[in-house]
Structure 1
Amino acid sequence: MKLMECVPNFSEGRDKTILDAIATAIKNVKGVALLDIDPGADTNRTVFTMAGEPEAVVEAAFQAIKKAAELIDMSKHKGAHPRMGATDVCPFIPISEMTMDECVEYAKQLGKRVGEELGIPVYLYEYAATKEEWRNLSNIRNGEYEALPEKAKDPYWKPDFGPHTFNAKSGATAIGAREFLIAYNINLNTRDKKKASEIAQIIRESGRPARDENGKLLKDENGNPIYIPGLFSHCKAVGWFIESYDRAQISINLTNYKITPPHLVLEKVRELASEMGMQVTGSELVGLIPKSALVEAGKFYLQRLQESTGIPEKMIMQTAIQSMGLAELAPFDLNKKVIEYAIAGKDLLVNLKVDAFCDLLSTDAPAPGGGSVSALCSAISGALSAMVANLTIGKKGYEKVTEEAMKLAPRGQEIKQKSLEVIDKDTDAFFALMDAMRLPKKTEEEIAYRKAQIENCTQQAINAPLETMRLAFSALELASKIAKIGNTNALSDAGVAALTAFCASQSAYYNILINIPGITDEEFKQKTLAEAKELLEKCKIIADSVEKYVCEQLKSKG
């Protein structure tokens, strides 16, 4: 599922009425979760954090910026933090199944709308910047709000969107795209801040001052201090003493965890601390973390243990929590600390127990239905194949295939996870279609809008089972592979994995056929039907092959 985060900063940190109004504007947008509101009275600035489906996040950001423009008067604003607008900055951050390029496009969409509809000058920054010097936010914000009247006269400062004029009430806004920032602290078994600072200087990107053998600072020919580069890029770090914890910490900001992940920094700090006679007792995550970062860490430690990474993602993350000591100072709740879990709906079908799901399925409720069931079958198939792979890894007599089984198990988990997501995606698409059909149709404009919405929602109702068919095909390929190399004591399970995957494919195909007559886009209709038919044929070939193989092997056992 595509997820994007947005962290708009508003130039108001004291008036709760204004902050509540902005929060309400965000909460009124479906598909977005408002995760945090962090006001600062001294800075007179508040950071909002929200996340959700990309299009919904863009809409929520616009509504928040619009509300801020209505309620905040920059001509009267005073605060300690640099600022140039009612909405000062508004970055988009990719969370899952998102690229930075996609975030850049969403930043441009929002910037265009803010500029045209609200009349606010918009500058694109960081990855979205149209000028190299504008990648750095401080360059754009140089001179702050007070410099905007002069910038409005300078052609160089023509904004990317909106009028090249001074907006006295709202100022200007920087909209951009950046990586997720992870705030991460490492705990030491010392109260000595200097020791923590020494390690911080070694690991941070900016490095540390060079000194001679007598400890004197080294300088270049111009008299400037010479710095030894730090070990990690995209890493900012300082050492400090936290009285409430009665220990020193290394406080770290990781500005691109995909390049510098927290677990690798932790391992290097453990090494450095040991050389200095200290120990790392644990670590602390401040705020939230993307699921992928914690999963990567868990896999790192599982591989060290020479254990399978093809286990459920929450088990992988628990390995990371234990290995990194993330629960040393306070309980670490995955549902609150992992951003994807924090924004997930609490009434999802996948959260139901098996009996509750079947009970709901058996009522006259229009959903869940066959589409969700077909996705569930695909998930079960992936899970079964992962199980067979895990029952093969490390078993006597299967040493030659252990390496391959170690690769197949994670693939089964991936199919399982993606299929589980489609269970709710299918039901959501159905309800969206029902809502579209209830739209008013009294005027020509209403009729045209309703028709367009029905077409769009019908396509989504078809795309969900089509996605299931693609996953089912992958599940069948996986079942075929694991049946041939897997633990023969679980051969029947591999066979069931293939059967349930084919069932998922066939039943998803039915759901496509029942919805396709409602499509008016002939190109979409023909393309979808062609792909679905081809997938079904491929699935049947593999399913028949696995069934034949499994039956022959089981008979030979008898």
Structure 2
Amino acid sequence: MKKIIECVPNFSEGRDMSIIKEITNAIESVAEISLLDVDPGKATNRTVVTFVGEPDDVLEAAFRGIKKAAELIDMSQHHGEHPRFGATDVCPLVPVANVTMEEAVEYARKLAKRVGEELEIPVFCYEFAAFNEKRRSLANCRSGEYEALKERISSDEWKPDFGPTAWNEKVAGSGATAIGARNFLIAYNINLNTTSTRRANAIAFDVREAGRVKREGNPVTGKIVNDENGEPVRIPGTLKKTRAIGWYIEEYGVAQISMNLTDITVTPVHVAFDEVVEKAGERGIRVTGSELVGLIPLQAMLDAGKYFLKKQERSTGISDEEIIKIAVKSLGLDELYPFDPKKKIIEYVIEDKSAKKLIDMTLTRFKDETASESPAPGGGSISAYVGALGAALGSMVANLSAHKRGWDARWEEFSDWAEKGKTYHSALLNCVDEDTDAFNKIMAAFGLPKSSEQEIAERKQAIHDATKNAIEVPLKVMQLAHDSMEVMAAMADFGNPNSVSDAGVGALCARTAVEGAYLNVKINAAGFGDKAFLETALQKAEDLLSSAREKENRILKTVHEKIEG
């Protein structure tokens, strides 16, 4: 699975579009990243840029952007309404897909070290990437802004984590940069059946983390209660990591709760939505839908869809497309205008449209491509696809069982089995293209030049690596197809009896996938030089094949017994 991170650097230039364009050109010179948004602000004299990609590509693009900004922006001449202390003021990395926060922290610190050492810019690591709790807060790192930087970077307490600790002409021009790792922020508006900004604000104060100011007597007009330091005492709202305010949208003629969910691992969109529904209801107001501003990670939409499916006591082991459809309808994301997942979900926006995948073909086109004179897709890809179909049949029986009349109390049990089956058939489907890619890599390695000793050595190593990968991919198919038989076995034992034959066909497909992938392991292993690796791989393959045959026999025995009564 592809790893994706988002980078949201803020550059201290929002007025000169030629400078902004040079910076974004530097970022886009890394062809593999996708530039999603450029948002300049004249009053703040600041531009927020958003781009995504795989980690190494994002780090390179961020480095080039930071370098270009330091060349073009002179912080000694900078003025703007927004707090700032550097040409690239902040540069957060945000894990989007298949990247943990711990990994994002390592990426942020890697970038920070490179910027400090190669560009000689003072760098402070903040948020999750901070080396101590005091530096976790961006406000603390940036305290006093650019004007205080000269004294701060030379102090023991606030010397930068990377880069120079003494003021010089270069630092005076670039200022400092804060590089960190944070969770994904979502701008999200919830629509109300009222035109009252005041009522919308009241609901916003109910839910936002900062809540409302505490007052004596009347909660609206009463005297503000202050603490011992003279600061207003606040009554916190119900949602953590949430900012919110009420406003009226002239274009749509409705009031909204405008929210920033600053950490969707703490307060995801579906939790915010349901909490506003409850608080609005207490005030006699109804939520009619919501609006997503900008993009959202796929997992956030899947989490929302599964949340509402569970509330309906329905299986969550269905396709991503159906889960997203449930999320859109449940959140009312299509109330104000059509919601297009291809334009609103990050992973769908940045997917490579030019890449021709076997799994995107129609059944007929896939069959015809297989039958053609092209050597791929071959037996390995077909084995993976047959395995995917087998696991999908297991999920189907589980979903039918979860929805069976009279079995309502067991919906969650079967939903879990359907989810497990989905894990296998999704992974096996990915292997369809992986196997063909593995074959293509072998062919490419054999096609490398061999006119010098160095080229001969490089070609030999490439052939070795490609052949090893061509053994590992079908071995993975064997493991996945073998393990998926657990779902078919369970469905044959206690799933919907009307679909027991489907569980049997699923087992047949899974065993076929194991057998087919086994043949590919063996043919690719022929002549491979790493004997230790080969011995381990072949023994594992033999064990999986033997076990799959036993599982198939037991499942089919159960299926025949149930069919025959």
User: Counterpart of 1:421?
Assistant: 430
Q: 1:412 Cα deviation (Å)?
A: 1.9
Unpaired runs of at least 5, structure 2: none
Q: Distance in 1 between matches of 2:124 and 2:239?
A: 30
**8 Å Cα contact 1:308-1:406 kept in structure 2:** yes
User: Counterpart of 1:264?
Assistant: 271
Q: Distance in 1 between matches of 2:419 and 2:260?
A: 30
Identity between Structure 1 and Structure 2 (%): 51
**8 Å Cα contact 1:458-1:518 kept in structure 2:** no
Q: Distance in 1 between matches of 2:255 and 2:104?
A: 37
Q: Does 1:244 align with 2:244?
A: no
Q: 1:418 Cα deviation (Å)?
A: 2.8
Q: 1:332 Cα deviation (Å)?
A: 0.5
What is the DSSP-based 3-state SS (H/G/I as helix, E as strand, rest coil) of the residue aligned with 1:391?
helix
**8 Å Cα contact 2:315-2:411 kept in structure 1:** no
Q: 1:126 Cα deviation (Å)?
A: 0.6
**8 Å Cα contact 2:488-2:506 kept in structure 1:** yes
What does the per-residue CA deviation read over 1:214-249, in whole Å, with 9 as the maximum and x for residues that have no partner?
333222344332211211111111111222222211
What is the DSSP-based 3-state SS (H/G/I as helix, E as strand, rest coil) of the residue aligned with 2:392?
helix
User: Counterpart of 1:473?
Assistant: 482
Q: Distance in 2 between matches of 1:514 and 1:28?
A: 42
Q: Does 1:301 align with 2:308?
A: yes
Q: 1:63 Cα deviation (Å)?
A: 3.6
Q: Which deviates further from its counterpart, 311-320 or 530-539?
A: 530-539
Q: Distance in 2 between matches of 1:408 and 1:189?
A: 40
Q: 1:290 Cα deviation (Å)?
A: 1.5
Q: 1:178 Cα deviation (Å)?
A: 0.7
Q: Distance in 1 between matches of 2:491 and 2:464?
A: 41
Q: Distance in 2 between matches of 1:544 and 1:520?
A: 36
TM-score, normalised to structure 1's length?
A: 0.89
What does the per-residue CA deviation read over 1:410-463, in whole Å, with 9 as the maximum and x for residues that have no partner?
222232223333334444455566666666777887777777666665555554
Q: Distance in 1 between matches of 2:434 and 2:482?
A: 19
Q: 1:43 Cα deviation (Å)?
A: 2.8
User: Counterpart of 1:175?
Assistant: 179
User: Counterparts in 2 of 1:84-483, with a 5 A limit?
Assistant: 84-166=85-167, 167-214=171-218, 215-346=222-353, 347=355, 348-365=357-374, 367-396=376-405, 402-431=411-440, 460-483=469-492
**8 Å Cα contact 1:398-1:487 kept in structure 2:** no
**Cα pair distance change 1:100/1:83, threshold 3 Å:** same
User: Counterpart of 1:61?
Assistant: 62
Q: 1:286 Cα deviation (Å)?
A: 0.7
Q: Distance in 1 between matches of 2:456 and 2:13?
A: 42
TM-score, normalised to structure 2's length?
A: 0.88
**8 Å Cα contact 2:126-2:181 kept in structure 1:** yes
Q: Distance in 1 between matches of 2:426 and 2:236?
A: 41
**Cα pair distance change 1:153/1:264, threshold 3 Å:** closer
Q: Distance in 1 between matches of 2:441 and 2:64?
A: 22
**What is the alpha-carbon root mean square deviation over aligned residues?**
3.0
What is the DSSP-based 3-state SS (H/G/I as helix, E as strand, rest coil) of the residue aligned with 1:392?
helix
The one-letter code of the counterpart of 1:37 is V
**8 Å Cα contact 2:206-2:279 kept in structure 1:** no
**8 Å Cα contact 1:381-1:501 kept in structure 2:** yes
Q: Distance in 1 between matches of 2:16 and 2:531?
A: 54
Q: Which deviates further from its counterpart, 165-174 or 128-137?
A: 165-174
Q: Distance in 2 between matches of 1:546 and 1:189?
A: 55
Q: 1:25 Cα deviation (Å)?
A: 4.3
Q: Distance in 2 between matches of 1:379 and 1:407?
A: 18
**Cα pair distance change 1:24/1:361, threshold 3 Å:** farther
**Cα pair distance change 1:456/1:53, threshold 3 Å:** farther
Q: Does 1:485 align with 2:489?
A: no
The one-letter code of the counterpart of 2:118 is E
Q: 1:518 Cα deviation (Å)?
A: 8.6
What is the DSSP-based 3-state SS (H/G/I as helix, E as strand, rest coil) of the residue aligned with 2:13?
coil
Unpaired runs of at least 5, structure 1: none
Q: 1:204 Cα deviation (Å)?
A: 0.8
What is the DSSP-based 3-state SS (H/G/I as helix, E as strand, rest coil) of the residue aligned with 2:174?
coil
Q: Distance in 1 between matches of 2:456 and 2:146?
A: 46
The one-letter code of the counterpart of 2:163 is G
